Amino acid sequence: MHILWTILIGLIAGALARFIVPGTEKGGMGTSILIGIIGALVATFLGRAAGWYHEGETAGFIGATIGAIVVLVVYHALRRRSLSA
């Protein structure tokens, strides 16, 4: 159930991150939402590794949004690099 909650938070966090981070994507909002889900999962696992969250806890909305923003920025950087090469 915790993974489903993380995915739900990631959906919302991805949409919010898309509005915060400038840039365009071919996949549009769907790609942003997928990146938000990945960001929420990454934030959850990194938070557990850092000791911020205990087993069974997930990243909150703010943590998931920050994770989504980080993943979105990395995605844009990698995409720019591959397009310029």
Q: Could you tell me the residue ranges of all domains in the chain?
A: 2-84
Between the CA of residue 44 and those of 22, 25, 26, what are the distances in Å? 24, 25, 27
Give the model confidence (pLDDT) of 22-38 as tens digits: 666 666 777 777 887 88
Q: In this predicted structure, what is the pLDDT of residue 10?
A: 76
pTM assigned to the model: 0.71
Q: How much is the mean pLDDT over the chain?
A: 76
CA angle (64 as vertex; 54, 28 as ends), nearest 5: 150
